[in-house]
Amino acid sequence: MSRCLAVFPCEDLRVKSSPNSPRDSALVRAARRQSVPHTPVWFMRQAGRSLPEYRKVREGVGMLDACRSPELVAEITLQPVRRHGVDAAILFSDIVLPLAAVGVDLDIVPGVGPVVAQPFRAHADLDRIPELTPEHVSFITEAVGLVVAELGATPLIGFAGAPFTLASYLIEGGPSKNHERTKALMYGDPELWHALCARLAQISGLFLGVQARAGASAVQLFDSWVGALPRRDYDTFVQPHSRVALLAVADLDVPTIHFGVGTGELLASMGAAGADVVGVDYRTSLTDARARLGDRYAVQGNLDPALLFAPWPALEKAVLSIVAEGAQAPGHIFNLGHGVLPDTDPAVLTRVVELVHEASAR
Ligand code: CP3
């Protein structure tokens, strides 16, 4: 909750609520398990290559350069809101951006993803990962300001990568299927693992806080690849650090969403890390997720992104089934079970938004 109590006049605009403020939006209300006029919907990776207008503004501009330009970030963030009428924007950035901001030598290679020049391997490498300060990412504060000014009552979701997923990119040097070097370090040198994750938790937490302070109305912690771990090891090696990252925004009155791919076995632990909303991928039904989570959390998800390529009747059936399952949960934010695939037809996404709104209108 806000620290702005009765003793001092409240100067924090974010905590003021009016009927048309993002704080009263369907997304924020669903995240808080409050009643909603309709099920809110947004899509992970809604800003990006599925949109021709995105490809146009990105022509000749590198991914990291785009992420560092407040005007471009604002434009790309707003594109899917204009086109699809989704219930939230997600800031256009990348999970490795804060690592680049503290000086880690990395690039985001088209068709590959983040590539780190010198992977993290030994204790001495900790020196290459200093603390993140708001000054390192002042362009994010500026970008969020521009976006929020345009969005009006539509909420902006800020995000960060969680320590495990960031550690995987740093240790593997790039995207990895099996995370073998990451696991070798985690199981083989727990002390170094925890030292690395403590630094990454500071970076994630501060990055979330910068976005929330600048005006984001909710934040999502992406632990995309943590589904590679069994729950016992998640609890030992990961959850304490993800909790630190989420705690960094506990005072800021923004709901938190915690998501990973293939994390059906980890849902309860991911909720207990301190989230309001637990993201569910398409492998676990929302009904099963709720059975694992109880009534303390809202859920987000979980249409298989590949279903967006199916004929409309099959897609419609899947969407309606998720809307109905979600209505049984204490709060539901409709989303995909992972990000929009690059070749997705944007018109299909718009149609899904309309269907979710119609089917859930209360
Ligand atoms: O719309 C949105 O969701 C906002 C933008 C966003 C991007 N990356 C833009 C992006 C978000 C939230 C992310 C987070 C991110 N980045 C995650 C977590 C989400 C997830 O998918 O699990 C991860 C794991 C990354 C790392 C990363 N960055 C990958 C795996 C890739 C894809 C590589 C490829 O080209 O296939 C990227 C690049 C990236 N991030 C692109 C975009 C729009 C594509 C770059 C381009 O258009 O040139």
User: Tell me: the pLDDT tens digits for 209-268?
Assistant: 999 999 999 999 999 999 999 999 999 999 999 999 999 999 999 999 999 999 999 999
> Each residue of 32-88: pLDDT tens digit?
999 999 999 999 999 999 999 999 999 999 999 999 999 999 999 999 999 999 999
User: What length is written for the chain?
Assistant: 362
Whose Cα sits closest to atom 11 in ligand 1? 94
Q: Name which of 254, 255, 210 is nearest 15 in CA terms.
A: 254
- Domain spanning 10-361, CATH architecture: Alpha-Beta Barrel (3.20)
Terminus-to-terminus CA distance in the chain, angstroms?
28
Distance CA 159, CA 165 (A): 13
Q: Name which of 135, 27, 143, 8 is nearest 75 in CA terms.
A: 143
- For the Cβ of 223 lying below 6 angstroms from any atom of ligand 1, the answer is no
177 neighbors 104 (Cβ within 8 angstroms): no
Residue labelled with tokens 């309309």:
354
- For the Cβ of 92 lying below 6 angstroms from any atom of ligand 1, the answer is yes
Given this model, what pLDDT does residue 5 score? 34
Residue to mutate (ligand 1; options 46, 95, 140; most atoms within 8 A of CB): 95
Residue labelled with tokens 């993803």:
113
SS3 of 73-139: the string is HHHHHHHHHHHHCCCCEECCCCCCHHHHHCCCCEEEECCCEEEECCCCCCHHHHHHCCCCCHHHHHH
What are the domain boundaries of the chain?
Answer: 10-361
- For the Cβ of 51 lying below 6 angstroms from any atom of ligand 1, the answer is no
Given this model, what pLDDT does residue 182 score? 98
Q: Name which of 96, 90, 78 is nearest 43 in CA terms.
A: 90
- Residue 341, φ and ψ in degrees, nearest 5: -75, 145
Q: How far is the CA of 203 from the centre of ligand 1 (A)?
A: 18
> Each residue of 141-159: pLDDT tens digit?
999 999 999 999 999 999 9
Active site (annotated) includes residue 187: no
pLDDT band at residue 13 under the 50/70/90 scheme = very low
Q: How far is the CA of 326 from the centre of ligand 1 (A)?
A: 26
Given this model, what pLDDT does residue 8 score? 32
Q: Which ligand 1 atom is nearest residue 80's CA?
A: 1
Per-residue pLDDT for 133 more than 90? yes
Distance CA 121, CA 162 (A): 19
How are beta strands 106-109 and 113-116 bridged, if at all? antiparallel
pTM of the predicted structure, to 2 decimals: 0.94
pLDDT band at residue 20 under the 50/70/90 scheme = confident
265 CB-side CA count, 13 A: 11
pLDDT band at residue 4 under the 50/70/90 scheme = very low
- Residue 361, φ and ψ in degrees, nearest 5: -55, 130
Distance CA 3, CA 14 (A): 12
Active site (annotated) includes residue 32: no
Given this model, what pLDDT does residue 14 score? 39
